[in-house]
Amino acid sequence: MIKRVQSWLGREERQQPVDISPDNIPRHVAIIMDGNGRWAKRLGLPRIVGHQNGMKAVKRATIAADELGIEYLTMYAFSTENWKRPKEEVDFLMRLPEEFIAIELDELIEKNVRVRVMGDSEALPSYTRKAMDEAVLRTKHNTGLILNFALNYGGRKEIEDCMRSLGEDIAAGHLSPEQITAELIDSRLLSGGLPDPDLLIRTSGEMRLSNFMLWQLAYSELWFTDIYWPEFGKEHLLQAVAEYQRRTRRYGGLK
């Protein structure tokens, strides 16, 4: 079993080197981490093994992003739709933050990484909230890369909650419709304070947004790969950034 896992993870070592310009690094990269279960199934392993190896890929991607000079890294860890999965799998996923804290957090602290979380935390088990609160607290004074976990997050619910908040302010007389701007909406979203992602990466061959950062991704560059998330390594991030650098971002204009 170990040899099978190593053979798949070792695929990144056979990737061809790519050239990256230090002058055009995306500030904010968002990742839809997809394919943990299918990776495990292909190897004849339980799905939970895929999620465990996916956690290791989070650390690899974070360290690689930090080394590249990426300032913000948002990881789609658990969606509002993922509650539909089998209870045993959901329970395991809710325990992963504790494991992540115990195994990976110290190294991320050494790398000056700051952890942030966005999503509906009230619906999470108390032990999951406690683990994420600990990660946020222990890294709050760090000044390096911001690692933003989207946990129990849904893009439509985020926009719905934002519109409700604005509507309440209008009803209370604190805001007029004319004062609503894109900048105000930005500030009311769960990602408030972060720039919009420059680059979105999705693994496992799927080509959809899956209710992820629907407002924020309006002008992001999209990069899809057939690689399953547990296989994702530094070379795949380099490939995505290299492709990003080959594109011209026009934002609807002409350049």
- The verdict on residue 141 lying in a domain is yes
- The verdict on residue 9 lying in a domain is no
| Amino acid identity at 12 | E
- The verdict on residue 88 lying in a domain is yes
- The verdict on residue 240 lying in a domain is yes
Domain count, the chain: 1
Give the span between the Cα atoms of 198 and 41, in whole angstroms.
32
How much of the chain exceeds pLDDT 70, in percent? 93
Q: Using an 8 Å Cβ cutoff, are 26 and 241 in contact?
A: yes
- The verdict on residue 7 lying in a domain is no
Mark the binding-site residues for Mg(2+), compressed into ranges. 34, 221
User: In the prediction, which pLDDT does 1 show?
Assistant: 46
- The verdict on residue 11 lying in a domain is no
Domain of residue 75 covers 28-155+197-245
| Averaged confidence pLDDT in the chain | 93
- The verdict on residue 230 lying in a domain is yes
Catalytic entry in 23, 34, 142, 152: 34
- The verdict on residue 164 lying in a domain is no
Residue listed under structure tokens 């209870």: 87
Mark the binding-site residues for substrate, compressed into ranges. 35-39, 47, 51, 79-81, 83, 85, 202, 208-210
At residue 64 the predicted structure's pLDDT band, cuts being 50, 70 and 90, is very high
Q: What does the block give as tokens for 14?
A: 């056979």
CATH of the domain at 228: 3.40.1180.10
User: In the prediction, which pLDDT does 255 show?
Assistant: 61
User: In the prediction, which pLDDT does 102 show?
Assistant: 92
* Coil, strand or helix at 221: strand
